[in-house]
Structure formats: C-alpha cells, structure tokens
Structure 1
Amino acid sequence: MRTQIAIIGAGPAGLVLAHLLHRAGIDAVVVERRSRDYVEGRVRAGVLEQGTVELLDRLGVGARMRREGLPHAGTNLAVDGEMFRIDMQALTGSGIMVYGQQEVMRDLFDAAEERGLPIVFEAEEVQPHDIGTDRPHVTWRRDGAEHRLDCDFVAGCDGFHGVSRGCIPDGVRQEFERVYPFGWLGILAEVPPAAHELIYANHERGFALASMRSAGRSRYYVQCPLDDRIEDWPDDRFWDELCLRLGPQAAAGVTRGRSFEKSIAPLRSFVTEPMRHGRLFLAGDAAHIVPPTGAKGMNLAVSDVVMLAEALAEFYQDKSAAGIDGYSARALARVWKAERFSWWFTGLTHRFPGTGPLERRLQQAELAYIKGSRAAQTTLAENYVGLPLV
C-alpha cells in the first residue's frame, strides 16, 4: 500500500487531520490499534472552543453539533459556595459549545465512511520506520498478517501512550512534565444539569465541577486523592460531597440520580519538543497533555492538525517546505500558552497537599480580584474560549 500521509491514531487529532487532508486533495490512510466502538466510546472532554466549532462546520460535520450541542456564553466560578459569572460572550465576542468528544468522534467517523476515507482498525504492533529518510513507512499486524504502508510523511496522532513520540531519539527529544498529586473523580448520570452553564467550584475541601453532556445528561467531578478507589465513592457519598463543595446556591439545582459511569482520572501537564523529527510529525496527546481544568485537550489537538494540514498543503501545492519546517515552533507556541492557562486555572481552583492558611487566602484573594476586575475576567475568558492560531 502507498499513500501520501500515514496517520497513526483515529482519535480527534487523527480524524480531523484526515478530513482536512481530504478537503485539500491529499491522500491519507489512518491506522488505529483499537476498534471504532472503543475509540468512539471513550469518555472524554465536552467543551469545544469557538475555533473548533467553526472548523467542524467548515468540514461539513457540524450539523448534529449545532442541533444537539449546548452553546454557552459564559461560565461560573464558586468560591466557598458564593458564585459569580464570567460573561465570555460580552468580554470576547465568543463562547463555547458543550458537545462531548464521543459525539464529535461519531460525526467524524460517519463522515469518513460517507467520504471513503480509509481507516484501518484493530491494527496491532503499529510502528513507523525510516522517519529520518525521504521514504518512511508504517507497519502493523492484522488478522495474523503483516502489512506495510509506504508514505511521504507520518503523522503521529496516537496519544500519550502511543509509539510515535518514542521514535524521536532521546538526544533530540525533550520532555517537560508535572504530575499533579490528586485526581478527578467523575460521574455521568441521566439527570438534568445543575445550571445552564458550567460551575467551577473552589472549596476548602477541594475542587468540584458541575458540567453536562446534554439537557438530560450531567457530568460532575470532585477532586480526590490519587489512591482513592471507585469503591470508596458510592453515589450517595459523591452527591453529598459535590453539593457541599458547590455550595447551597448551586447545590439547589442538582438533581441526584444513579451514575452509569464513574472513573478517577489523574492530572498531568506534559509537553514534548520538538513536534517534528524528519518525516514524522506529532499532534494532539502524542505531544502534550493538559489538566482538564482548562478544557484544552481536544481543542489543542484540533489546532495542531489545522497547522499541520496547512503545512502539508503548502508542501504539495506550492512545493514549499517552509510550513513543515515551521510546524513544530508554530504549534508549540500555542501549546505552551494553553499549558500555562490550564496550569494556572488548576492552581487557582484546587487544594494541593500541604496547602496552608496562607495559600488558601491567596487563592481567595485572586478569585476576589477576578470577580471585581473586568480586565482579569477578560484574560480568563480569552484563554477559555481559545486563543487564535499563531
């Protein structure tokens, strides 16, 4: 088999890139080690930046999002139970869309089928080769047979635990990481949301988030120790803790119900540099991870592949390597800004081990400053709705 671009990974980065390349008339094959059901079923982010929403529209996959997604013009912060709102639309002219990653993936997969985009599922032992030459290729095993895909370039969109990042030699690759000393215990329940917009709560007992996936499905989180187990958190305990941290005003809107999904997710900040080596490009979680507080994970993956698709189109259409040569620096400039925001917002809203009275007072003072300052609210809103591509 031969193609122009071999894409490893059929998550948001890989599928959006495949659609962008198809739109530009560039051939690509996506190779994914899991099944479609597995990839589509992963419970992930649900907040889309304005730029991501507009891109899905341009790709012709945004119709269901526009029908079923929940547009938000603002978000709420609760400090020890007292809530105030950030009017993102008034401050920036933009808002966000609540529409789960599972739904985005369903739309991308359905459109890929309609457009005949080739995706190889359940590919085992996927491995890029010869990325330092002008003739790279990718191999895998499927149904007991060996397969090889020759290509011009390889796009590593295979996530944090994928094989692509490790293909950049240790002497070239730099990694920057912080693992946070707590996790997010999250549940999904078929109950209406506590409020029309998200609520981020800072409480002396820890962080909480009231979110949603639809008008009838809610997604809630509480900060918890990393060594907690799901069994430690029966539904009644979770609802009690959530309502305590949200405070009386927000808790009054909480409808309790049986959870049908419950998990504990660790938090980390991670960046690898560079995002290009030879004929290999990294995009999405293969190159960077952000704590979910800033709602940047899927949106960063989308911005990466927008830049990468532009660079590849320039290479094929204009015979210029300027875009691919500049891809890593351009992508990383936006990545580090999103990392900064997610790190800052996590520090502002969570209780860290060893946090004392001084640190707690400083958090409260900064949140009070944001509440009373239009300039501070604008800074938060600009980052939350998504910075422009640079």
Structure 2
Amino acid sequence: MTIPSAYIHIPFCQQICHYCDFTKFFYNERLADEYMEALYQEIHTYIPGGKARVKTIFVGGGTPTVVTLSQLERLLRMIDEHFDIPACEEYTFEANPGDLDLEKVKLLKAYGVNRISLGVQVFDDDMLEKIGRVHQVKDVYTNVDRLIQAGLTNISIDLMYALPGQTVGAFEETIDEALQFGLPHYSSYSLQIEPKTVFYQRYKKGTLVKPPEDDEAEMYELLQRKLADQGVNQYEISNFAKPGFESKHNLTYWNNEYYYGIGAGSHGYVPGKRTINIRPLPAYVKQAKANGRPILHEEPVGLKEQMEEEMFLGLRKASGVSLKHFKGKYSRTVNEVFKDAVPKLKERGLLTVGDDSIRLTDKGKILGNEVFQEFLLDS
C-alpha cells in the first residue's frame, strides 16, 4: 500500500525553548554528522531502491536549518536520493527566524523545497526572550523577505498564545503584525505545560502562571475573527490558510492516512501499526546504524482504534468527519459505531450534524478534548 507522506525529524537546536517537549538536543557539529549517517540508514531501510512517490514531505525539529550548509546539503541529497521530489506536491522545511542565510535559502530552493514553516511565536522581543527563543522580531522581517526574493512564497508562521505574562492586548498586537505580511498560512497554539520542560519545572514551583482561562478563550476567538476578516480561513482547530494553501502534510494526519516517521523520537503510521522511534540521540544513532530500524515501540492498530482515530483526528478539521467517507472506509455508519456519543455531544452544543458531516461547533473547538474522549470505544 502507498505511504502518501514522510516526516523527517532533525533534533538539533541552538537553544532549547522553555516550553518545548519535542525530541531535541543542543547542536553539535560532530553529533549532527553522526546523526546524518544514522538517518540515511533508516531512510534507506524504508526505501532500499528507487525513489518513493509521496505527496508530502515535512522536515521538522528541533530546527532543521540550524545545521551547517554542508550538513544541510547532505540532508537534502539523501532525501532527493530516496524520494521523487518532482512528484511531491508539498515539501516543507521548518526554520527559526535568523537561521536562514542566503546560501541556505538558495540550497533549499535548488533541491525542490516549496514551503517554509517559520517558528515566530510572538512579535515581542521581551516575550521571545522570556520563552527561551533566540531570534528577534527583526529577524522575521529579514528571513521572510529573503525567502520571497528567492521565490519561496508559500510561507507559514507559528504563533503562540496564553504565554506567561501575555495579555489579550499583547496577543492582538502579535496577530495584527503577523497579518501585515499577508502570508498564505498561519498556525497558532496555546501554551501547554509539558513535563521535562523549563516551564513545567517553574509551574511545579509555583513561579509560572498562565493567563486566566477566560483570557485564553478571548485570545483564541480574537485569532479566529481577525484571520477570517483577512480571508485566512480556519480549516483546523489551530490552523488557518488562504484558499488552496492548507497544509497538505498536516491534512495527512487529520485524514488518518499513513506516513513514514523518520528520525529520533519520530512517530509513524504504516499499515497495521503506529511506530515510535528511540528518542535519546546515542541510542537512536547506534540502532539506526546497526539495522536501520531504530524503533522503540510498535502498537498494532485494529479496526476499533482506526475508527476512534478517524473521529479524534477528523473532528479537528473545520470540514469535520464525512459520514459517507466513514461508511465507505469501515462499512459501518458513524451513528452505528458511536450511537451514544453523537446525540450527547450534539445536545451539549459541541457538535453539529449535517447531511454528510459531523463538525465541532465553536464551543466544541474550545472544548475539543472533552469531545474526543466521548469517541473512545469500550474494549
């Protein structure tokens, strides 16, 4: 069966952000060289001959662009060796503002990268420092201009809200400044306090306080309204795009489709199972070099799990879950499988049911986790 997408993880960062719980390590040139060797072995194990045809490739991190120019070219070459880049509809690299010098931008363009996701977070230098970011606002302007001049115009920026000390007014200023770029895609996420992060330690000590929940909800509603006013439509709980610029790679996840998960700590979904790779860098490198399969855990995905995930993931989209598609895929209707959940959530005003879709209401988007847990089936 065809695997339509590939996620490739580069775990290195110049500095570790206070909120980040992704697999990441401080950049070291020697370690990055070893990692590239291991990464090659893993990719080659999945695709031992020829070039795989995929619809999307997403290179994330960490910070993929923190590596040296020669390491970046090495990475791009190994991807080009194993994937049919001209046939790939969307090829995304994550980057931090300030990492993209002219040579790196030209290199990305030359190897067929056609989308850039910039981790901006906020347009406020003081707040950037408080959350552990190393770039400044001016770097965003420099990098966006550099990308556009090189012809890389499909740019997305990430924004964060509900940060410690952030007011509704401050987040509104960030939204307004972000919209001045007129970019085709924006993602925005509220701060989640995750274990093994700087913010988690501060939270446990009582020295970190998030804004009140009412302020967080107001920030989210402000985000929805302001982007909609500019023709940037919400197509998923945290993602907004001008028509035609929705992230095809992320839609792979939300449509519950298969994808390779390559690199330290990566998650993959291939027929019959979900995989989680080894996170610690030395252990990942050792195992990948040994047999090309640095997998920590494989979890079988049966029919029950597939149907649950179809609802969890599909309801994140503004279009919701297609009733016709669900029945065609599983030979059962949503109402047959989840006969109690749908009317219960509809009565609470969290779901709306149309002729061929079930979607979250605005209230449901805010209370998404409460909705999703209702679609857990009994064993």
Category of TM-score, reference length = shorter chain: under 0.3
Q: TM-score, normalised by structure 1?
A: 0.27
Q: TM-score, normalised by structure 2?
A: 0.28
User: Higher strand share goes to which structure?
Assistant: 1
Bigger relative CO (Cα 8 Å, ≥ 6 apart) = 1
